Amino acid sequence: MPVVTMSGTIASGAREIGRAAASLLGTDYVDQQLLVDAARRLGVPLEVMAEHDERCSSFGERLSSILRGFLERSAAGGDPLTGAGGLEVLLGRTYADMALEREEPEISDSLYMKTMTAIIRELGDRGDIVVLGRGSQMILRDLPGALHVLSLAPQELRIERLAAREGMSVEEATQRVHDSDKARGAFHRKFWKVDVSDPSLYDITLETSRLSYEVGAELVAGAVRSSVGPG
């Protein structure tokens, strides 16, 4: 039941390596967008979802079950989440949103962290998952057997990759990289008082200017297989 957390600066390859590693390991992969999509579809009957997503009967159903369970517990505990719509808004918050200091946030920091921690811990406890970002390396840091991976690349290369990937100018990509790095660092300092790039937080650090995403994924998969042993 492998569990991998993938962390990394924007356009460093964390997303691509995470997806590829999940494919090699035969596990599920989840990132912020998949969580938001799952919350958005909570009110849609599973049969309808199946027409558009062949995997909904496996991971989609599993993720929906986790989110529904959280909403039920949240309602019972009096947390101010208004069903799937409120959960979708909460899960869609960016690092920049969370790093802001606001006296009266629309959704409290404590509720955000309670929600993300509950969801990611449940995913980790169930196993067979690669989780991208959202502080997963901190939330699951005490989970036995979890592998925590950091992906890095020089800023110039990340700007080049982002501009190509998003079809934006170099100037726009430069600003996006700067803003993303700043918000990501502030998010981790605010909630865990750590430097998100501290290598001691991770088991493996991949520098993707020297390694292809495919090789990075193979290294992650190999590390997981070595740690769990044969069979």
- The per-residue pLDDT string of the chain (231 residues; one tens digit each, 9 = 90 and over) reads 899 999 999 999 999 999 999 999 999 999 998 888 888 877 654 444 444 444 445 777 778 888 888 787 776 655 656 566 778 888 888 888 877 755 445 557 788 888 899 999 999 999 999 999 999 999 999 999 999 999 999 999 999 999 999 999 999 999 999 999 999 999 999 999 999 999 999 999 999 999 999 999 999 999 999 976 554
Please report, for the domain that includes residue 41, its CATH number.
3.40.50.300
Q: Is residue 201 part of a domain?
A: yes
Number of domains in the chain: 1
Q: Is residue 129 part of a domain?
A: yes
Domain residue limits at 181? 3-225
Q: Is residue 230 part of a domain?
A: no
Is pTM beyond 0.75? Reply is: yes
Q: Is residue 231 part of a domain?
A: no
**For the chain, what is the HEC assignment?**
CCEEEEEECCCCCHHHHHHHHHHHHCCEEECHHHHHHHHHCCCCCHHHHHHHCCCHHHHHHHHHHHHHHHHHHHHHHCCCCCHHHHHHHHHCCCHHHHHCCCCCCCCCHHHHHHHHHHHHHHHHHHCCEEEECCCHHHHCCCCCCCEEEEEECCHHHHHHHHHHHHCCCHHHHHHHHHHHHHHHHHHHHHHHCCCCCCHHHCCEEEECCCCCHHHHHHHHHHHHHHHHCCC
Q: Is residue 27 part of a domain?
A: yes
Q: Is residue 22 part of a domain?
A: yes
In this structure, are strands 129-132 and 147-152 parallel, antiparallel, or unpaired? unpaired
Q: Is residue 68 part of a domain?
A: yes
